[in-house]
Structure 1
Amino acid sequence: MTDADFSSNPDLRQRAIALYDAFTHAAQSGQRDRRAFMRELSLLVGSATAAQALLAGIGANSAAAAILPADDKRIKAQSIDWPAANGRKLTGYTARPAGPVVKRPAVMVIHENRGLNDHIRDITRRIALAGYLAVAPDFLSVAGGTPTDEDKARDMIGKLDLAATVADAVATVHWLGHIAQSTGKVGAVGFCWGGAMVNRVAIGAGDMLRAGVAYYGPTPDPTRAASVKAAMLLHYAGLDDRVNAGAPAWISALKAAKVDVQAFTYPGVNHAFNNDTSADRYNKGAADLSWERTLGFFEAKLGG
Structure 2
Amino acid sequence: MKKINKEDIKQDVFDLYDDYAHNRLDRRDFVQKLSAYAVGGITVAALMSFLMPDYQDAIQVKADDPRLQSDYVTYSSIKGGGTINALLSMPVNTKKPLGGIVVVHENRGLNPYIADVARRAALAGFISIAPDALTPLGGYPGNDDEGRALQSKRDRNEMLADFIAGYDYLKNHKNCTGKVGVVGFCFGGWVANMMAVRIPDLEASVPFYGGQPASEDVPKIKAPLLLHYGELDKGVNAGWPAYEAALKQNNKEFTAYIYPNANHGFHNDTTPRYDKAAADLAWKRTIDFFSEKLS
- With normalisation by structure 2, the TM-score equals 0.93
- 2:20 is the alignment partner of 1:23: yes
- Following superposition, the deviation at residue 256 of structure 1 comes to 1.9
Matched residues in 2 for 1:180 and 1:5: separation?
49
Letter in 1 for 2:114: I
Q: Is the 8 A contact 2:89 2:129 kept in 1?
A: yes
Task: For residue 181 of structure 2, give the secondary structure of its aligned residue in structure 1.
Answer: strand
Matched residues in 2 for 1:146 and 1:62: separation?
14
Matched residues in 1 for 2:41 and 2:246: separation?
45
Matched residues in 2 for 1:253 and 1:226: separation?
8
Structure 1 7/187 Cα, relative in aligned 2: closer, same or farther at 3 Å? closer
Identify unmatched segments of 5+ residues in structure 2: none
Matched residues in 2 for 1:224 and 1:66: separation?
37
- With normalisation by structure 1, the TM-score equals 0.91
Task: For residue 99 of structure 1, give the secondary structure of its aligned residue in structure 2.
Answer: coil
Aligned to 1:241: 234
Matched residues in 1 for 2:57 and 2:108: separation?
15
Q: Is the 8 A contact 1:4 1:50 kept in 2?
A: no
Letter in 2 for 1:299: S
Q: Is the 8 A contact 2:231 2:261 kept in 1?
A: yes
- Following superposition, the deviation at residue 7 of structure 1 comes to 4.4
- Following superposition, the deviation at residue 8 of structure 1 comes to 5.0
Task: For residue 149 of structure 2, give the secondary structure of its aligned residue in structure 1.
Answer: helix
Matched residues in 1 for 2:50 and 2:249: separation?
41
The CA deviation string for residues 71-128 of structure 1, in whole angstroms up to 9 with x for no partner, is 2211111111112336332101111001145311110000111210111111111100
Matched residues in 1 for 2:214 and 2:94: separation?
43
Task: For residue 146 of structure 1, give the secondary structure of its aligned residue in structure 2.
Answer: coil
Matched residues in 2 for 1:298 and 1:127: separation?
10
Letter in 1 for 2:11: Q
Structure 1 122/6 Cα, relative in aligned 2: closer, same or farther at 3 Å? closer
Task: For residue 66 of structure 2, give the secondary structure of its aligned residue in structure 1.
Answer: coil
Matched residues in 1 for 2:257 and 2:7: separation?
28
Task: For residue 295 of structure 1, give the secondary structure of its aligned residue in structure 2.
Answer: helix
Aligned to 2:142: 148
- 2:287 is the alignment partner of 1:295: yes
- Following superposition, the deviation at residue 37 of structure 1 comes to 0.9
Aligned to 1:120: 114
Q: Is the 8 A contact 2:4 2:50 kept in 1?
A: no
Q: Percent identity?
A: 38
Structure 1 82/34 Cα, relative in aligned 2: closer, same or farther at 3 Å? same
Q: Is the 8 A contact 1:38 1:48 kept in 2?
A: no
Structure 1 220/69 Cα, relative in aligned 2: closer, same or farther at 3 Å? same
- Following superposition, the deviation at residue 204 of structure 1 comes to 1.2
Structure 1 210/77 Cα, relative in aligned 2: closer, same or farther at 3 Å? same
The CA deviation string for residues 216-246 of structure 1, in whole angstroms up to 9 with x for no partner, is 1111212211111111110000100011000
Aligned to 2:55: 62
Task: For residue 234 of structure 1, give the secondary structure of its aligned residue in structure 2.
Answer: strand
Higher helix share: 1
Task: For residue 53 of structure 2, give the secondary structure of its aligned residue in structure 1.
Answer: coil
Aligned to 2:208: 215
- 2:131 is the alignment partner of 1:137: yes
Aligned to 1:198: 192
Task: For residue 186 of structure 1, give the secondary structure of its aligned residue in structure 2.
Answer: strand
Superposed, 1:1-304 pairs within 5 Å as: 7=6, 9=8, 12-26=9-23, 32-46=25-39, 50-85=43-78, 87-207=81-201, 209-278=202-271, 280-303=272-295
Letter in 1 for 2:219: A
Matched residues in 1 for 2:41 and 2:141: separation?
26
Q: How many residues of Structure 1 are paired with residues of Structure 2 in the alignment?
A: 294
Q: Is the 8 A contact 2:108 2:150 kept in 1?
A: no
Matched residues in 2 for 1:144 and 1:101: separation?
35
Q: Is the 8 A contact 2:111 2:144 kept in 1?
A: no
Task: For residue 199 of structure 2, give the secondary structure of its aligned residue in structure 1.
Answer: helix
Matched residues in 2 for 1:41 and 1:4: separation?
17
Q: Cα RMSD (Å) of the superposition? A: 2.0
